[in-house]
Amino acid sequence: MLMSSNMSNNSAIKFNNVSKKFRKGQKLFLKEALVDLFRPKGKGDFWALKDVSFQINKGESVGIIGTNGSGKSTILKLIAGVLKPTQGKITVEGRISPLIELGAGFHPELTGRENIYLNGTILGLSKKEIEEKFAEIVEFSGLGDFIDTPIKHYSSGMYMRLGFSIAVHTNPDILIIDEILAVGDMAFQNKCFGKINQFKDQGVTIIFVSHSMEAVRNVCNKVLLIYDGRLILTGTSDKVITGYLESINTQTREDNKGLDKDDLRRGDGKAKIIDVRTEDKKGSKRNLFAEEIIRISFKVKFLEDATDPIFGIVIKTSDDKVAMTSNTHLLGIKTGNFKKGTEKIVSWEFKNYWDNGRYSISPAVAYKNGLNFYTWRENSAFFSVKKPYSTGSLLNFPHFINIK
């Protein structure tokens, strides 16, 4: 059961042998639930969490990492009270602000102003508290005059900014963040991280789920690694992230043909990335580069019809820092419509300006302005750069020095 109580110790959140079971294709509507009464029980059940125990103290910033489907978001929803455990006990103390599904209570026909009052009330604010914080919420969101426009006319970024702004002005004791910072422009992302750091300084307990190990390192001092519904490692950020990245690398083929296992794929599975490779300008496969042009390509097979999909890549350094991101949406490229069964090869070509080191490639196919993914393959290929000398920085490009 989920409960809140005045715990006598410093604990903010405590999981004691918690397990959560779902039924595949489980329906939450009454009509579908009634139909389920006449179906055989026990078929297709799966355990999203299995006997998980941990404690998070007040004021700690804790990351939860793991491959897609490992149980991370289930933990957050259990903490927030959206779900109840099948077995075990959860104890939570403090006011929670969940940044899980931003704007979940928004009404599209209402204006931004009206939705601030609606969503603020859902998050536990009184009308007086909303009135006192209203100007701050609008200022932080950067929506300006758009605040009196119905939000059905908002872009995805505007929608997200308003949802984030409301949630972080609820004066939480516990802040729950689930990969929502992947949306929005760089300036607003920096603003969000600034707000998170402000909460850390104020002693707010932060639970942070992200596939960006760099972001987890920057936000969290402690990390939980979840795999297949089980907690397999707890410790400092560096220790757990290093162990996680090493485990990923051992599952990755060094010949750049992609992943051995599907558990590192993310997305709804309506497209499949078949092959990821690095080549020279002539199209010959290579994994080691000096000053040459680098070409990165991957083949996509669509398993369902797709409209204007977004093709993208993320390139990271060996310590998981982002070296480059690019996608067709950012460049304003309309990709067209694709029928089920269509295969396409997508490629990037650029001058190698990076310093010596090993780099990973994570390709993706997305839709809805990048809010949803058909497929995303984490660290599915690697290449190395070896030049005559190293600058010790991320970039190593030709330049001249003039002394007069």
Phi/psi of residue 363, nearest 5 degrees: -85, 160
Model confidence over 158-207: pLDDT tens digits? Answer: 888 888 888 888 888 999 887 655 545 667 777 888 888 889 999 999 99
**What tokens does 55 get?**
């404690």
Q: Does domain 2-245 have CATH number 3.90.1010.10?
A: no
Specify the domain boundaries for CATH 2.70.50.60 within the chain.
262-385
CA 50 to chain centre: 23
pTM recorded for the entire structure:
0.58
Model confidence over 107-146: pLDDT tens digits? Answer: 889 999 999 998 888 878 889 999 999 999 999 888 988 9
Q: Report the DSSP pairing between strands 11-23 and 174-178.
A: unpaired
Three-class SS state of 199: helix
Identify the sign of the CA torsion 146, 149, 152, 153: negative
Report the alpha-carbon distance of residue 332 to residue 311 in Å, rounded.
12
| pLDDT value of residue 263 | 36
Is the confidence at residue 216, as pLDDT, over 90? no
Share of the chain above pLDDT 90, in %: 37
Q: How many CB atoms lie within 10 A of CB 268?
A: 12
Q: Which residues contact 117 (CB under 8 A, 6 or more apart)?
A: 127, 130
Is the confidence at residue 391, as pLDDT, over 60? yes
Confidence grade of residue 389 (pLDDT, cut at 50, 70, 90): confident
Phi/psi of residue 41, nearest 5 degrees: -90, 155
Confidence grade of residue 228 (pLDDT, cut at 50, 70, 90): confident
Q: Which residues contact 121 (CB under 8 A, 6 or more apart)?
A: 127, 130
Report the alpha-carbon distance of residue 282 to residue 81 in Å, rounded.
56
Report the alpha-carbon distance of residue 309 to residue 244 in Å, rounded.
30
With CA atoms as reference, report the closest residue to 300 among 254, 255, 267, 322.
267
Specify the domain boundaries for CATH 3.40.50.300 within the chain.
2-245
CA 118 to chain centre: 26
Phi/psi of residue 334, nearest 5 degrees: -85, 120
Identify the sign of the CA torsion 313, 314, 317, 322: positive
Report the alpha-carbon distance of residue 258 to residue 381 in Å, rounded.
6
Q: How many helices (H) and strands (E) does the chain have?
A: 8, 22
195-209 burial: b if 16+ Cβ within 10 Å, else e = bbeebbeeebbbbbb
Q: Regarding the domain with residue range 262-385, which homologous superfamily does it belong to in the CATH classification?
A: abc- transporter (atp binding component) like domain (2.70.50.60)
With CA atoms as reference, report the closest residue to 300 among 351, 260, 265, 253.
265
